[in-house]
Structure 1
Amino acid sequence: MPEVIVIGAGIAGLACAQRLAQAGVDALVLEARPRIGGRVRTFRPADGGPALELGAQVVHGDRNPAHAVLGPLPAAPRPSAAYVVTGRVARPMGLLVRGANPPWLLEGRLAGYDPAPGGPDAGLSVGDWLAASGAAPAEAATAREWLRQTWAADPDRLDAAGVAAAVRRDGGGRGEFTVPGGLDLLPRALADGLDVRTGTPVRRIAADPGGGVRVVTGDGELTADRAVLAVPPAVVAGGLLAVDGLGPEKTAAAKTLVPGDGFCAVLTLAGPAPETAAVFDADGVGGFVSCRRGRPEVLIVAKSAAAACVREAAGSAVHLAGLLAVALPWTRGVAVVDVETADWAADPYSGGAFCAPGPGTDRAARAWARPLHGPGGRLFFAGEAAVTGRALPWLQGAYADGRRAAQEVLEAGKQ
């Protein structure tokens, strides 16, 4: 019998299990999917071309823990050309710089928003903050879409103070970095030496009458002294996993911590791209579109309302060609020969992209993070949702929270 069962082999679950193993604890990781990594998913072209990411895209920050796990990582390459789509026409991104408030500048200013609790400026949504920012209407509209793609949520549903606090408290440092060979090398490294069982969905977690925790899977039952639930709250809220004694506070938290919509696609075309380009669709239709010179793949990463647009387009060759023709005019007349998609909202073990700070999410995240089952705690919780409103809900947030939960388990074991 393992001492601890970790449920979920995403970044949080694997970081938790790795920390436990480092402390000499016998941990077993159970993963419902046939693969590890959670919302990290890498696409590798059949001809051995550069890997593309269908989930988490980059490593944020020069102090991101991914550097410690994988070694120093190279900076993400900058595209030779950048465009913005407005009015269904792709124009040079430099046009946004000519204005007083390009979206990335407004995003940077938002990070400094720190209202006094209960003050007149407290409680603003990001949409409210943008409206009061002094940006021209066109600038604010572009920034709204930029922030939708950053946070996978509509600015009117984003808490400005929560977003700002998450950015300020992030210890990941500066810059963006890539993992040569694919971002899924990170979960592989974390899983090295661990006992991980994929294709093993957990159906129920309950207190064991003899003490400890009972975990019910499709293949039978397992018991352990303690367990860590490192899956998105949406899995519990959707009824895929039942937790005995969850209680009204955590039940409400699971319903509040809803991830935003996310849809990614790699399109393989019949011909190569003439340039390395990145395109931001400010019209809210295509998210971010990119291609690499000499390669036939086009990557689309879309969140919030744009995810729904790309999802619909991916089901129709005509609509998909139309979306591409706007973002990348060179694709007109070039056939799409293959499409690989990752529909995170349709994935029952994800429920969406990630949880962004919204009304009530900070309180819900704190409630979700608290242990259950006895004064010493028998069931612990980890994941990006547990840091919503306090840290960035990306790789570094998930990793740090997995380590936090592991430390709680170790402290409980001393009692």
Structure 2
Amino acid sequence: METDILVIGAGAAGLACARRLHDAGLAVVVHEARRRLGGRVRTHHPDDGGPPLELGAQVVHGDRNPVHALAGAGRIRPLPRDTAAQVVLDGECRDMAVLSRGRRAPWLVEAQLHAAPGPAGLSVGGWLRGRGLTGPEHAAATEWFRQNWAAEPDRLSAPALAAAQRGDLCGSGEYTVDGGLGTVPALLADGLDVRLGSPVREVRHRPGRISAHTGEGTLTAAAAVVTVPPAVVTAGGLGLPGLPAAKHAAAARLPLGDACCAIVTLDRPAPASTVTLDVDGRMGFLRVTEGRPEVVVVAKAAAAGTVRAALADQETLLRMLRTALPWAADARITRVVPADWGADPLSGGGFCAPLVGAEAAASAWAEPVAGTVFFAGEATRCGSGLPWLGSALLSGELAAAQVLEAVRR
């Protein structure tokens, strides 16, 4: 089979890229190993018709996020602000105000880092130690960075985190999409040639020509766009013979942080809407909505491993939930829907974070090879933008622009 452009991966980046190339008049084929669209965007729809819940990307970040234009203004809703904030601290659920009545709440500490991150080479852990935080405030800030960046603070680059915040183009605020974030990949894919359940195993290239070994046979094209995470390439999930050594080195410096999510349905509804940060490091973030029985668990870094183990033992999981949610003291679990991104060979984790000593890796990974193999995905924006859905979409647009420039020469 022959086409103009092969796009590998039907996540947000791949579909945004394919959409732009298709609209420019090129023949594009998208191959996706999963049997669904979206990559690390995954929406769960409760059996009783309740509001959709997110198992991958959680919200739309920013009032200038491209999702607004894709979904349409009538389908975007601001995230409710009447949600109580709690922490689990020393085995007890408490109001967030326990942290010096909010004066050193972790999000305020992060804002201080964005404003004054310190010199090159300084880790977030080192920056935190230099702020004089102690006790619960230090523990909460440390876990906040773990959960928001899926990495240990001593590995995170403080200046690169600040640069990512400055480079973000999506604006402010948080939003949801009617029908869930899973509607976004579906909108992008409309009318595209997308082959689900058809992995690309290897791509060979020479200037102006690629040959790909896919689940449907051999495909040739003028160019390929790789949108799978770097970790998939380093693990051998996608073979790219002839890739320059600098690209392999960049991929090795862009590991995805561990992440494990789950929707746990209890036998009773939550009495109030709350978001809980487990400062003790066991469960990450937990969100419940008043009147609904589901608990959304989003755990990263070390907490992802703890949640992963608990998902295999519901009694342990229930004990952890009862600590974080006192109203569930005598509740029972009726259903668990997991999304273990760290154990998924097609993702290798949640997302990339800028690490000390690896600040230049993303730009090296994003660099095209021989004007023929191009790269997209949130990893290509690591350290220059926030690693959320907006960056993935933007990376796809940028890769499409590079492809169009190359094929029109």
State the match for 2:395 in structure 1.
401
Residue 89 (1) aligns with residue 87 (2) = no
Partners in 2 of 1:301 and 1:50 — Cα distance?
A: 18
How far does the alpha carbon of each residue in 1:302-325 deviate from its partner, in whole angstroms, 9 at most, with x for none? 111111111111111210111110
**Amino acid of the residue matched to residue 401 of structure 1?**
S
SS at match of 2:77: coil
What residue ranges of structure 1 are gaps of 5+ in the alignment? 116-120
**Amino acid of the residue matched to residue 128 of structure 1?**
G
Mean Cα displacement is larger for which, 80-89 or 399-408?
80-89
Equivalent residue runs for 1:1-400 within 5 Å:
1-72=2-73, 73-96=76-99, 98=101, 100-113=103-116, 115=118, 121-207=119-205, 212-372=209-369, 374=370, 377-400=371-394
**Amino acid of the residue matched to residue 69 of structure 2?**
A
**Superposition CA RMSD, Å:** 1.4
Partners in 2 of 1:37 and 1:131 — Cα distance?
A: 39
How far does the alpha carbon of each residue in 1:312-365 deviate from its partner, in whole angstroms, 9 at most, with x for none? 111112101111100101112211011000000111110000000102333211
**Amino acid of the residue matched to residue 307 of structure 2?**
V
Aligned 8 A contact 1:15 1:403 in 2:
yes
Partners in 2 of 1:247 and 1:132 — Cα distance?
A: 40
Aligned 8 A contact 1:208 1:223 in 2:
no
**Amino acid of the residue matched to residue 43 of structure 1?**
H
Partners in 2 of 1:99 and 1:241 — Cα distance?
A: 47
Give the C-alpha shift of residue 139 in structure 1.
Answer: 1.4
Give the C-alpha shift of residue 29 in structure 1.
Answer: 0.6
SS at match of 1:245: coil
- How many residue pairs get aligned? The number is 406
Aligned 8 A contact 1:362 1:390 in 2:
no
How far does the alpha carbon of each residue in 1:241-288 deviate from its partner, in whole angstroms, 9 at most, with x for none? 100101211111111110000011001111222221211111111111
SS at match of 1:260: coil
Aligned 8 A contact 1:253 1:364 in 2:
yes
Partners in 1 of 2:82 and 2:213 — Cα distance?
A: 48
TM-score (norm 1): 0.95
Aligned 8 A contact 2:122 2:356 in 1:
no
SS at match of 2:309: helix
SS at match of 2:384: coil
Partners in 2 of 1:265 and 1:414 — Cα distance?
A: 46
Mean Cα displacement is larger for which, 328-337 or 11-20?
328-337
Q: 1:5 to 1:359 in 2, by over 3 A?
A: same
SS at match of 1:283: coil
SS at match of 1:203: strand
Residue identity over aligned pairs, in percent, reads 53
State the match for 1:118 in structure 2.
none
Partners in 2 of 1:125 and 1:221 — Cα distance?
A: 46
Aligned 8 A contact 2:121 2:357 in 1:
no
Partners in 2 of 1:184 and 1:99 — Cα distance?
A: 35
How far does the alpha carbon of each residue in 1:27-74 deviate from its partner, in whole angstroms, 9 at most, with x for none? 111100000101000110011001100000000000011001111211
Partners in 2 of 1:78 and 1:264 — Cα distance?
A: 23
TM-score (norm 2): 0.96
Partners in 2 of 1:198 and 1:113 — Cα distance?
A: 45
Partners in 2 of 1:239 and 1:344 — Cα distance?
A: 17
